[in-house]
Amino acid sequence: MGMQTVELREALRQAIDEEMTRDPNVFVMGEEVAEYNGAYKVTKGLLDKWGPKRVVDTPISENGFAGLGIGAAMTGLRPIIEFMSFNFSFVAADQIISNAAKIYYMSGGRFQVPIVFRGPNGAAAQVSSQHSHCVEALYSNIPGLIVIFPSNSYDAKGLLKSAIRNNNPVLFLESELAYGDKMEIPTEEYLVPIGKARIVVEGSDVTLITHGRMVNPCQAAVRELANRGIKAELIDLRTIKPLDVATILSSIKKTNRAVIVEEGHLFAGIAAEVAFTIQEHAFDHLDAPLERVCQRETPMPYSKALEKETLPTVARIIHHVEKTLNFRF
């Protein structure tokens, strides 16, 4: 099997291009996806290759083009709708929540909505409150939506291909800060299954559970903990909904402790859902209370120093690992 080193943005572009080649019903629509080659260059070269009928520039009207995409999906096309930022999906929330998520149910199964909404989610570098929100907890609250947030090029390509082929609406979350991250991936076609977590590092003392861009600080924390003789297991959820409960529980039964890390907020977040699931199914296996490391309960500041303190840090992750390891009943 051949290998290639690609940036995450290129892995996403390959996934889109391959699926457009495979299925003439797949098309891309969003702000600046065509003439400008994409705000983050994910769709670079696709207009030249596929033309304006399959790579469609839109006005700044998320509610309009999200609705257009849902209608197209209902009639048999497979749209990939790019939001320049998932913060802008709030303008289209009525379409995503009221229509994309519910039409299959409300039509008694007569209309499927095979659509992918994709784009950057969470914090970037100093873009402040209105461009830094993590949306996964909000949208995971809605039955009918699949929510995916890969952390690397390999998973991004394989999961995006799976998302495009899925007959349900998928929210495919990316990180602006990760678009330039490089990784070796196969040159041959491959898929990554939706709903399957990945054990990044195996360990026996404590389980770290995270997703998306927070895999990086968690990996740094695992390395630092290893220097102290602590073997941490790291799980990258990859798919938020459906959640891979089996992988989480098998790890907890081995380590008996868990720290859950997410870029989003504490209250009613993904970490809260994961923690409840653990205590519901593996309560007898826990040797310490579950710990969470989340974004501080504030809108994202603009200041670099405050931004850093607002997001989970390696030091905070290690602090909570030590807290759970030192707990005694």
What's the pLDDT score for residue 129?
A: 86
- At 297, which amino acid appears? E
CATH 3.40.50.970 in the chain: give the residue spans. Answer: 3-186
Which residues of the chain fall below pLDDT 70?
none
Q: Which CATH number among 3.40.50.920, 3.30.1130.10, 3.30.70.1140, 3.30.1330.10 corresponds to the domain 198-325?
A: 3.40.50.920
Just list the catalytic residues: 62, 131
The answer to whether 249 and 278 have CB atoms below 8 angstroms apart is yes
What's the pLDDT score for residue 127?
A: 83
Q: Report how far residue 218's alpha carbon sits from residue 208's, in angstroms, rounded to the nearest whole number.
A: 7
- 286, 217, 272, 216: which is closest to 243 by C-alpha? 272
Q: Report how far residue 23's alpha carbon sits from residue 8's, in angstroms, rounded to the nearest whole number.
A: 23
Q: What share of the chain is helix, strand, coil (3-state, %, to 5)?
A: 40, 20, 40
What's the pLDDT score for residue 279?
A: 97
What's the pLDDT score for residue 98?
A: 98
- 110, 115, 191, 185: which is closest to 146 by C-alpha? 115
Angle at 136 between CA 134 and CA 138, to 5 degrees: 95
What's the pLDDT score for residue 125?
A: 85
pLDDT per position as a tens digit, 302-317: 999 999 999 999 999 9
Distances, alpha carbon 185 to alpha carbons 62, 158, 269, 287, in Å:
33, 10, 32, 39
Architecture (CATH level 2) of domain 3-186: 3-Layer(aba) Sandwich (3.40)
Q: Report how far residue 86's alpha carbon sits from residue 89's, in angstroms, rounded to the nearest whole number.
A: 5
pLDDT per position as a tens digit, 71-93: 999 999 999 999 999 999 999 99
What's the pLDDT score for residue 175?
A: 95
Angle at 239 between CA 237 and CA 243, to 5 degrees: 80
The answer to whether 324 and 257 have CB atoms below 8 angstroms apart is yes
CATH 3.40.50.920 in the chain: give the residue spans. Answer: 198-325
- 139, 196, 175: which is closest to 311 by C-alpha? 175
Residue 298 tokens, joined: 């504030």
